[in-house]
Structure formats: C-alpha cells, structure tokens
Chains A and B, each alone.
Chain A
C-alpha cells in the first residue's frame, strides 16, 4: 500500500518540485535581466536564432492553418446560411486563439528545444562554470538574452502567423469557395476590434513567449551533465511547454474575454 501511494504521488511531487524550482529560477533570472541587457549583441543573435530562423515554419504553418480553417468554417457556416461571416470568423479564431497557441507550440518545438540542448551542453561541457570563473554571470550572459529574445520574438511571429493565416483563409474562401471579396472584408472590418482581438492575442503571445523561453532555459540550465540528461531535458521542454501553454491559454482567455 505504501509503495502504491509512493508510486502514484512521487511523480506528482517531482512535477510540483520542478514547477517550484522553475519559479525560483525565474526570480533569479529577473534579477539578472538588467545585467543581461549589457550584452545587446548576444540578444540580437538570439532574436535572430529564435525569431528570424523560425519564420519559415511559422509562415507555412500559418498559411495551412488559415486554409483549413476556411474550409471547415465554410462548411459549418453554410449549415446556418451564414457564409458571409467567414472573414470575421477566420480573423477572430486566428487573432484570439489559434495564432498565439499554434505559434507558441511551434516555437516550443523549433526554438525551445534548441535552447535547452544548447544550454544543457554548455552545462555538460562546463562552459557555464568557466564563465563563472571569469566573473561572467551565466544568468546574465546565457539565460537573460535567450529569455528576452523569446519575449520579443513571439508577438512578432504571431503577427506574421496571423497574416499568413488570413491570406490562406482568403485564398480558399474567396478564390476557391467563391465568397464575395467585398463581403469577406467588410464583414471582418465591421466586427473585429483592435484592442479586444488583435492586441489581446498579442498579450497572449507575450505571455507564451516568456513561458516557453523560461522553461527551455531552465531545463537546459538544470539538465544533468550527461548525454541522456540533455536528451531528457529537451523532451521535458516540449512536454512541459505544451501543457503550460494550453493551461495558461485557458486562464488568459478567461481573463481577457
């Protein structure tokens, strides 16, 4: 019985402890952020790495998400005879929900894993200790730029994703399914608001960017210095980020409604 309880609760407690340690790490990271800003060139390199290099996957995914959204919503709306609202529904689904969430999941897979593997190997090859030896704070030089880069890159990636999604949705809805171009746009511009839809999606993007980069940097930072340890940390980055994104999305949506 005791063993059974231990088997059930141990992973749970481990997970909880991991959340707690991530929280402590976050506080340390925040304190190191001002010093991290003294390495602007490193920040620029990280924005290039997590942002600019993610553009292709984000654009292609956005295009296909928009196209499939158009097909599916056209089918649903045609049941109610409301296909003229297609533009509005596509824009609202993208701006409010799919843009931030899908971009964040892709971001975790594309950039988060790379950060974890890189930082984990820095730990495994004692580069972090070497930095400390040279009086360079690894929290400021390694962790801060990567965290800030995620924070800056995510809202921009979401904007690009949304635009490509809208383009894909327009392509399928107007040129393929034959919805009137004017109806598509005028219905959308009549019902989509800047603050409630576009900007609230960007708040989500900002939160997810911070969350994913925090988890990625922390997992790399705390990875056991073995090849297996780095591999496990990379997996954990994807799993924890995905769960955290979806859970936080629910909370944020409830608050931003």
Chain B
C-alpha cells in the first residue's frame, strides 16, 4: 500500500471508529434504551398527586415494562393530574378495570406506574380511562402524619371511585 493510501485508510478508520463510539454512547448508555418506538395505544388515568413522575417513565405490569408515560397535564376541572400512557400494541389483553398505582423503585429511585390487572372480560383499548388509581406516596406527608399522631390528617393517597 502506498503511504498516501495508508493514511487515507487510517483517517477513514479513525472517523468510523469515532462515530461508532458516539452512536454507541448515545443509544446504548442513555435513556434512549428505554424508548419504545413500536405501535402503541393510549390509555389515560387521573391521579390526585403524581409526586415525581416524569414523561417517559416506565409503565409496568407484574414488573414487566409494557409502556411509557406519554404526557402529564393538569385537568383544571377536577384539579387532578391527567397522565396519558402509551402501551405497546402487543399487550392488548390487559383488563379494563386494572388498577394504576404510582410506585418508586427503591427508596430514592425513579417513579413509575404499576398496573395491577383487574378481572373485567373487556380489555383496554385506545382511549380507555383507568378509573382505579392510587397516587404517589409522599414521604414528607407520611413523616408529618407520624409526627402529629396517626389518624385525623387527610390521607395523601386516596382511591378514586
């Protein structure tokens, strides 16, 4: 190989390696890993308090990731947080009366939505609303309740009818 071709090849190899490294870092070591791009359907649920739930947080059923949080907005009529979840199309057998609960992974981990399956014969479909929800557990409220004595204080987590 003549010297000119050898350094041209070396340069090409270097540029390829650099971009490969960048692509690896960007797609394999970041939250892009959790990004589900397949077809999905939307389900909404209202929570009295979402705590620290963020967009793109996972939605899990039995610990298995079935979707992601798509958007979180405040419903000004009920003053509740309206959370839209995108559930992957292949999970189309989730009962309609399932129970949505905001949980924390570990003591200080990120928050996610946990679904507990109900017993209804009809399944969730695009546009369904989950009626049974439980809000995020607020550590501060718990401590406050503990300090001021149990009972009396308004519960931080409430089951919506």
Contacts and interface: CB of A to CB of B under 8 A. Distances in A.
B15 interface: yes
* Interface SS of A by simple majority: helix
B142 to A, nearest CB: 21
A123 B29 CA distance: 47
Given A160-B21, A163-B24, A197 B30 contact: yes
Contacts of A52: 7, 10-11, 13-14
Contacts of A233: none
B30 A189 contact: yes
Interface stretch (A42-50, A67-75, A173-181): A42-50
Interface in B3-55: 7-8, 10-11, 13-15, 17-19, 21-22, 24-26, 28-34
Contact of A155 (B18, B31, B34): B18
A11 interface: no
Given A190-B31, A193-B31, A194-B31, A163 B21 contact: yes
B110 interface: yes
Given A47-B15, A52-B14, A193-B30, A159 B22 contact: yes
A157 interface: yes
Contacts of A188: 29
Given A162-B21, A162-B25, A202-B22, A192 B31 contact: yes
A157 B22 CA distance: 10
A82 to B, nearest CB: 8
Residue among B19, B21, B30, B106 having the largest count of chain A Cβ atoms under 10 Å:
B30
Interface in A188-232: 188-194, 197-199, 202
A156 interface: yes
25 contacts: A44-B8, A44-B11, A47-B11, A48-B8, A48-B11, A51-B15, A52-B7, A52-B10, A52-B13, A52-B14, A152-B15, A153-B18, A155-B22, A156-B22, A160-B21, A162-B21, A163-B21, A163-B25, A166-B29, A189-B33, A190-B110, A192-B29, A194-B31, A197-B30, A199-B26
Interface of B: 7-8, 10-11, 13-15, 17-19, 21-22, 24-26, 28-34, 106, 110
